[in-house]
């Protein structure tokens, strides 16, 4: 179940019912004030990241929908099917991490130059978003970039299959580390992403 939160840059923003669970988890770890602050930083950063994808897609005339924020982050609705050129897919996929990296750099400069302490949290969160999303694990941005490179030699369907399989290997490693260290939120996230990749792969086979 999703709830409408308004529009930003002509994109409808919806909030999934699971979103408060993240806030509850953060609060349980660091307390009310810090938990709510971390939740706000995370989802504003995720929203900026997803808007990067949307604006890049519009640049190439690729149809876009809204942006949904949920327990595991966010997802912009972008029709990256086989009609989208491999180069365009790579640039659209790279746009989100580029926004995150830019925000991380800007916040780090403000933190170091002006000594604004909460800017460190923004810099750290956006740097983490950049690194995590650039993992070559489909359907992460890095995995989509990987698929776009494979498409120069393989069909769209085969490239998707290879990218999803590579993603399962990476997610398997992350899940193992999450279980070993007791990071259950990370484990749930990897499971969600692996299932999302599998669903997209099945969609290309139909």
pLDDT in tens, 138-148: 999 999 999 99
Residues 113 and 167 in one domain: no
| Parent domain of 173 | 136-206
**What is d(CA 123, CA 45) in angstroms, rounded to the nearest whole number?**
10
Tens of pLDDT, residue by residue over 94-125, are: 999 999 999 999 999 998 877 778 788 889 99
Catalytic residue among 12, 50, 89, 157: 50
Q: Are residues 48 and 129 in the same domain?
A: yes
- Residue that the structure tokens 């990897």 belong to: 190
Told to judge if 50 belongs to the known catalytic residues of this protein, a careful annotator would answer yes
pLDDT band, residue 206 (cuts 50/70/90): low
Based on the fold, state whether residues 8 and 89 are members of the same structural domain: yes
Same domain, 156 and 93: no
C-alpha 136/C-alpha 176 separation (Å) is 18
Given 87, 117, 134, which residue is the final one in a domain? 134
> Is the domain of 52 the same as that of 80?
yes
Residues 146 and 124 in one domain: no
121 and 146 belong to one structural domain: no
Indicate whether 142 and 119 sit together in one domain.
no
Q: Are residues 115 and 179 in the same domain?
A: no
Give the mean pLDDT of 44-66.
Answer: 94
Same domain, 98 and 146: no
Q: How many domains does the chain contain in total? A: 2
H/E segment holding residue 1? none
Residues 66 and 142 both lie in one domain: no
The neighbour count for residue 3, using CB atoms within 10 Å, is: 10
From 134, 150, 171, give the residue that closes a domain: 134
- DSSP per position, 21-78: HHHHHHHHHH-HHHHHHHHHHHHHHHHHHHHHHHHHHHHTT--EEEEEEETTEEEEEE
């Amino acid at each position: 179940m999703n709830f409408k939160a308004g529009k930003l840059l002509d994109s409808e923003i919806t909030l999934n019912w699971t979103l408060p669970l993240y806030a509850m988890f953060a609060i349980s770890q660091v307390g009310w004030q810090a938990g709510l602050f971390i939740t706000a930083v995370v989802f504003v950063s995720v929203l900026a990241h997803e808007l990067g994808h949307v604006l890049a897609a519009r640049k190439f005339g690729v149809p876009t929908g809204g942006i949904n924020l949920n327990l595991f982050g966010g997802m912009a609705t972008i029709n990256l099917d086989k009609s989208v050129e491999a180069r365009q897919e790579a640039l659209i996929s790279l746009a989100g991490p580029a926004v995150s990296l830019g925000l991380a750099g800007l916040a780090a400069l403000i933190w170091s130059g002006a000594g604004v302490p909460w800017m460190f949290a923004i810099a750290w969160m956006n740097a983490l978003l950049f690194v995590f999303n650039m993992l070559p694990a489909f359907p992460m941005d890095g995995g989509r970039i990987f698929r776009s490179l494979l498409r120069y030699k393989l069909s769209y369907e085969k490239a998707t299959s290879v990218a999803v399989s590579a993603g399962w290997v990476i997610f398997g490693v992350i899940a193992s580390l999450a279980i070993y260290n007791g990071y259950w939120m990370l484990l749930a996230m990897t499971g969600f992403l692996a299932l999302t990749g599998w669903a997209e792969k099945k969609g290309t086979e139909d």
